[in-house]
Structure 1
């Protein structure tokens, strides 16, 4: 398998030991090697790339947050645009057509859409959708906390709200506005964090506080969803201090993978019934401490272990279970790994 380059987002300053966005390469044998700092930035914890142009997007995760656009030129990232975000923006994603960037603001509970030009740069000011609601966990759910977005068939944008135990469905209007299409309540106190959309249309929601994966399916053509299944996020009990991190689909969508902090494992889940359910297969040590995001890279998987300062690589077996490859690569306070 040929080599591939990745961008790694990190925490900086008081939040971590990183200095910005780093560039790494996966060799043909799966091992990662450092290529250096690509751009100095303030806590670019989550990244996304444009589907057509060589543009990289990063949050600036702080109280007065922002989202930045970078042009990738000769292994470096050059800032080409910036827009204000809400408090503590923690996730970005790009619509499949490359027309909009979606930003989830954890602190303010807002979701915003930024129109993108043909060159991948920002056009106009963001459209903002406010969150609302709270949950029973007063330490984490005192108000809305938007955490991630994903893109579903029919042009719907889905967003998790950890604070309100909701998944919201939006449409982006021709004027760029985010219009609420529906809200799906989840079990009280579960704290939905990340989500992934299966090719069947089923939506897998990873809950940070309950340690489960909830499966939703479209209820109609207007954005409504309904719960059809729920399963543990780990194969073995993770313990009371565990906090789930990320969920991603494997190659061919026959398996899904989750990360769990505290327990410090990644878990392989078998996809059941054409996407309608998941069953945890095995927990594997994450290769470090406090695994955040993970990226499935064909037969490989890369896991960002924030607190141990390392990105670990795994080879995914025919049974769907990842096995560690080589020594984890030292990267200070890594949070997110995305392909260049």
Structure 2
């Protein structure tokens, strides 16, 4: 089986552009065999940190993060890509692209300036006409709206557990001797890139992902302002419908649509997975949350993916370089942490499940590794195979 590999190029990493990975035999539906990089499919010095496929055509779209543009590529040979048209301006540090199921447009998310951008696609898949969506506003600003609950979070519905208060209470209860065993949920970590803003007391918008949901709805995450925003897409651009506010400083990064009808969202800074759902009127709210217990204060969560049957969810954690294994409970409204497993690589930026194998892109280790999954528990074992791969950030199966 083969995978496109998004990566950071010479300006931010070591890759030449979009790579091509082979896992096992090329015609195998699984990925449990030896790993090897086939080579660079196309040079992309602007750092194609995220790639997404057209739903029907043999085309790929890349977020060229350092260039702030989105570029389309067509497959020109079995292992080669070629640019299709000119790059489209999106915004500073564009880090994600998602293509609509009907292939009418894509949505780009920009970490640097918080932009969410709708970009048209024509019948041949060429992108054009970027339309910037409405800016996000800080829900924790001078004039917040919504219901205040004990965490300080303002959500459209259910209460979120006050993990900070719980940590303080538990630390006091166990005493000084055992206090260091209590996760420091009252000490939200700050990434290096945000340290100056935090020191100045600033909060800025940092869009990170778009997810297409059934019924034509689009959800986007804003890591800087702790928002999940919902939109309707049309020819005039994205129309805001609703937003759900997560706990302050949690940093919602990536989401995963589950067949049960729930949206799972992993938070980069607080290292939790929240479950969102819509009520009968279509109004979204938080229904539960599961902390990735055992992670470190200096860790940052990265990616979410699910097993083939949707019964298990995997949340990558950079720093301690682990993956949280969560069991889907009830009708999908609850997640239970089963294990925190070692990925065997450094800085697991992205991961994907293929049948009985977990593939992990170790960005700072310059490698991709594969781990077997236990057939009963879904928990990863030790690394089975690894291959050098410069600054990998995204693994996308070839169709």
> Which bin holds the TM-score, normalised by the shorter protein?
over 0.9
1:209 is aligned to 269
Measure how far apart 1:79 and its partner are: 0.3
Measure how far apart 1:33 and its partner are: 1.5
Measure how far apart 1:130 and its partner are: 3.3
Alignment partner of 1:94 is 2:99: yes
SS in 2 for 1:253: coil
Q: 1:53 aligns with which of 31, 53, 57?
A: 57
SS in 1 for 2:11: helix
Kept after mapping to 1: 8 A contact 2:344/2:383 = no
In proportion to residue count, which structure has more helix?
2
Kept after mapping to 2: 8 A contact 1:131/1:146 = no
Q: Where in structure 2 are the equivalents of 1:154-193 lying within 5 Å?
A: 154-173=215-234, 175-193=235-253
What TM-score do you get using the length of structure 1 for normalisation? 0.93
Change beyond 3 A, Cα 1:221–1:110: farther
Measure how far apart 1:176 and its partner are: 4.6
- Looking at structure 1, the residues matched to 236 and 33 of structure 2 have their Cα atoms a distance apart, in angstroms, of 41
- Looking at structure 2, the residues matched to 139 and 79 of structure 1 have their Cα atoms a distance apart, in angstroms, of 39
- Looking at structure 1, the residues matched to 380 and 76 of structure 2 have their Cα atoms a distance apart, in angstroms, of 33
Return 5+ residue gaps in structure 1 as ranges: none
Change beyond 3 A, Cα 1:179–1:273: same
User: Alignment length, in residue pairs?
Assistant: 331
Kept after mapping to 2: 8 A contact 1:150/1:195 = yes
- Looking at structure 1, the residues matched to 344 and 101 of structure 2 have their Cα atoms a distance apart, in angstroms, of 32
Alignment partner of 1:336 is 2:341: no
Return 5+ residue gaps in structure 2 as ranges: 26-31, 142-189, 191-196
**Residues 279-288 or 195-204, more deviating:** 279-288
The one-character-per-residue Cα deviations of 1:189-217 (angstroms, maximum 9, x if unpaired) are: 11100000111111101001111001110
The structure whose Rg is larger is: 2
- The runs of at least 4 consecutive aligned structure 1 residues that moved more than 6 Å come to none
SS in 2 for 1:109: coil
Measure how far apart 1:298 and its partner are: 2.5
- Looking at structure 2, the residues matched to 316 and 95 of structure 1 have their Cα atoms a distance apart, in angstroms, of 31
CA RMSD of aligned residues (A): 1.7
What TM-score do you get using the length of structure 2 for normalisation? 0.79
1:301 is aligned to 358
Alignment partner of 1:196 is 2:279: no
Kept after mapping to 1: 8 A contact 2:371/2:385 = no
- Looking at structure 2, the residues matched to 314 and 72 of structure 1 have their Cα atoms a distance apart, in angstroms, of 29
Alignment partner of 1:11 is 2:15: no
Q: 1:258 aligns with which of 315, 329, 338?
A: 315
Kept after mapping to 2: 8 A contact 1:30/1:325 = no
Q: Where in structure 2 are the equivalents of 1:26-175 lying within 5 Å?
A: 26-28=23-25, 29-41=32-44, 42-62=46-66, 64-74=67-77, 75-81=79-85, 82-122=87-127, 124-134=128-138, 138-139=197-198, 142-173=203-234, 175=235
SS in 1 for 2:309: helix
Kept after mapping to 2: 8 A contact 1:71/1:77 = yes
Alignment partner of 1:244 is 2:301: yes
